[in-house]
Amino acid sequence: MRVARDLIEESLKSLEDEFGERFVRIHRNCLVARGELVELKRGADGHVHAILRHGDKPLEVSRRCVTQLRDVIRRL
């Protein structure tokens, strides 16, 4: 399991490095197109979720990504 996680992390890091102007990480294993982000909302469970322009449901945001995502949304 650890190997798969490392491969996913490495792949996402490569995509972030190459296409960082188009994508932003919202979770340890998830990138989202910057243009899809609408806002961040805190759920009743206390977790922050990203609301996407064309998404059918909010996506949970990692705590370590919240600050970066707030900055990205302010600049959209």
| C-alpha–C-alpha distance, residues 38 and 7, integer Å | 29
Digits of tens for pLDDT over the chain (76 positions)? 567 777 778 888 888 888 878 999 898 888 999 999 999 999 898 999 999 999 999 999 999 999 999 999 998 8
16 closest CA partner among 65, 54, 76, 52 = 65
- Within 8 A by CB and 6+ apart from 45, the residues are none
Structural domain spans, the chain: 2-75
Read off φ and ψ for residue 70, nearest 5 degrees. -60, -45
